Amino acid sequence: MSARPSHLTSTASFVCPDCKGSLQDLRCSTCNVEFVTAGGIPNLLSRQPQFASAMRISAVYDDIYTNHENVWEDQGRPPEFIRYFADVVAGLGTGRILEVGCGEGILLAALQGTHKSAIDISARALRKTQERTGADGAVAIAERLPFADASFDVVVSVGVMEHYIDENAATTEIARVLAPGGHYVVLLHTAMTGTQSINQKVREFIFPRPRPIALAKWLIKKLYHPIHQPVQNRYTVDSARACLLRNGFTVKREITLRDRPEPPLGGPHVVLFVARKT
């Protein structure tokens, strides 16, 4: 257990992930649970038994961020995608923004907002995010967000919905922390067959635009500390949309390469939803 660093003098932006009580020096004023920090990052993982696997998943992602930089660029998040996504979000508002699953903070740094917050399951990722963005960050899961009701105007997540432990609990929580009329901008990768995965890599690295350097980087990553993510959910566009609709959202836009070839998405298996809190 690490002591709370002296420069972290306030936890006013966080609440207990389980009971939503206020935190005083990382102790919940309601349920009296005391949380800790790791390297200056509050660890606000749920203590509820149904989310016990989060500790194991956290270790997996800490290892990923220890051994790799710019982890997700070769998985559909090059600079042109970051710019495109930031423009989509800017069109919805530039107020209080939360990124769920912020990774290294590359996307969050590009977003315009009066106040930025972030959660990730990896403390190592959050340290990189804070260095890059200065955002308030905590180790937490979407199923038990450590924020009060109506704390944000926009919530974003990219490639995270597939990894929720409980998709309904996570989506309901995101709706809870959004202000009335707030927006959830979520990108996910729908399930592909093996053949579709191979074809996707051919399109990405070989044809019609050969990218030998990017291909070499991807192969090195596969051989040196390969990334194995604990995927929880396999979606279709319809099943992902249904999850949003039954948990407090109206879908305003669906963006895919099937009907709009211009967005810099990672392939036809990628869908970007712009949803509004009902």
Residue pair 120/16 in contact by the 8 Å Cβ criterion: no
Helix 194-205 and helix 212-223: axis angle, to 10°?
A: 130
pLDDT at residue 76, as a whole number:
63
Distances (CA, A) of 4 to 14, 41, 123, 154: 15, 9, 15, 30
List the end-to-end C-alpha distance of the chain, in Å, as a whole number: 41
pLDDT at 90: 96
Per-residue confidence (pLDDT) for residue 216, from 0 to 100: 77
How far apart CA 206 and CA 218 sit, in angstroms, is: 12
In angstroms, the CA 265 to CA 97 distance is: 22
pLDDT of residue 2: 34
Q: What is the mean pLDDT of each run of 10 residues along the chain (278 residues)?
A: 34 85 95 92 97 94 86 76 96 95 96 96 95 95 98 97 96 98 96 60 70 73 68 90 98 89 85 97
For 149, which DSSP code? T
Contact call for residues 114 and 94 (beta carbons, < 8 A):
yes
CATH topology of domain 73-192+224-277: Rossmann fold (3.40.50)
CA angle 40, 43, 47 (to 5 degrees): 165
pLDDT recorded at residue 4? 34
Return the ∠ at Cα 115 (arms to 21 and 8), rounded to 5°: 55
Residue 163 amino acid letter: H
